[in-house]
Structure 1
Amino acid sequence: MTPVTPGWRIERRTLAHPDAAHLVERVQDEYAVLYGDPDSAPMEDDEFVGGRGAFLVGYLDETPVATAAWRWHAVPEGVRAGPAVELKRMYVVPELRRRGLARAMLAAVEADARAAGAAASVLETGLRQPEAIALYLSEGYREVPGFGHYQWSPLARCYAKEFV
């Protein structure tokens, strides 16, 4: 992929890697502001390694500024293809938004999941994140019935994209 900006690169990391952990903490702080609490959906480091998924960190020069991850997921209602992965922790630091970094991270995490054999990608997001929803819709995602940890939340929205 062509760099979004000079010095841009994406590296595979573990969820426990200091750069990944730092960015997860930042996104959790943002969720607390938006929704009153951090995201309580369970996530374990071993879900993102060894063929079970991947955790990607985007760097601008040597500074970690973005994340995107995938893990295998049961094919939820409304998804026509499988196997499926669930996208997690799509995040770009606020000071670098609107530069194409989120779109680059989404493309990278989808490519990584497809290379592992995924036929579809699903995700949960929230109504208080309209920019994220707009990104997903612009990249071919469509709304599907609720699934996962927040399936009953009135603020949650679920989306899917079939790769095939």
Structure 2
Amino acid sequence: MSEAFVYTTPLDPRAAPLLEGLAHEYATRYGDVLREPGEPREIDRYPAHLFAPPHGNFVLLLRDGVAVGGGAFMRHDERTAELKRVWTHHALRRQGLAKKVLLELEAQVLRQGYERICLTTGFRQPEAVALYLGHGYTALFGPVADPETPRKLPFEKELVVPLAQSEAAPRHAEAVQR
């Protein structure tokens, strides 16, 4: 069994099953509360170009050539990237894949010159909340708030820039391909 990260685009055919699974997950967890009639599905709210270098990126975690996880980020502001679509195949959960994707995205965010990450996750995704809290993200919502009230749960994290990178890397450098 071999695993590799591949930087690509949400339009890559290998990403389609994961993104459809994510769309299904959003629909089953949130279909009754978040989407207004006529609005695009959450998965379709952001065009692919926002997840392209130099301001963003999209990564797939391939296992034996098949996408088992993935994620993306886009520019939030000059020093901040916003994570989107951190996801693993529904049948492969609890194997640490989301952690692998999160760590790879953090490394790529740094390689592209950002110093901070922000993100939101849904109020019906306790697995995601635990992932982010367990990896040093600060919750920007009250821990005693009724989870049905805020709807979107924001997080942030200041990244530690390695000394060698902070001295030598240009801002928003070309994406490193693996």
- Tell me if TM exceeds 0.5: yes
**Deviation per CA, 1:34-77, whole angstroms, max 9, x where unpaired?**
00154267311111223121100111112111111111103xxx
What is the Cα-based RMSD across aligned positions, in Å?
1.7
Partner of 2:92: 96
Partner of 1:157: 153
Structure 2 distance, partners of 1:132, 1:113, is 19
- Superposition map of 1:40-119 within 5 A: 42-74=45-77, 83-119=79-115
CA contact (8 A) 1:7 1:61 kept: yes
Q: Say which one has the larger Rg.
A: 2
CA contact (8 A) 2:23 2:43 kept: no
**What letter corresponds to residue 23 of structure 2 in structure 1?**
Q
Q: Which runs of 5+ in 2 are unaligned?
A: 36-40, 142-148, 161-178
Structure 2 distance, partners of 1:126, 1:45, is 21
CA contact (8 A) 2:3 2:62 kept: yes
Structure 2 distance, partners of 1:125, 1:41, is 16
Structure 1 distance, partners of 2:82, 2:104, is 14
Which of the numbers 112, 124, 140 marks the counterpart of 1:128?
124
**What letter corresponds to residue 23 of structure 1 in structure 2?**
L
Structure 1 distance, partners of 2:71, 2:8, is 10
**What letter corresponds to residue 130 of structure 1 in structure 2?**
P
Moved over 2 A (4+): none
CA contact (8 A) 1:66 1:92 kept: yes
CA contact (8 A) 2:54 2:112 kept: yes
Q: Which runs of 5+ in 1 are unaligned?
A: 1-5, 75-81, 146-152
Question: Normalising by the residue count of structure 2, what TM-score does the alignment of the two structures yield?
Answer: 0.76
CA contact (8 A) 2:122 2:152 kept: yes
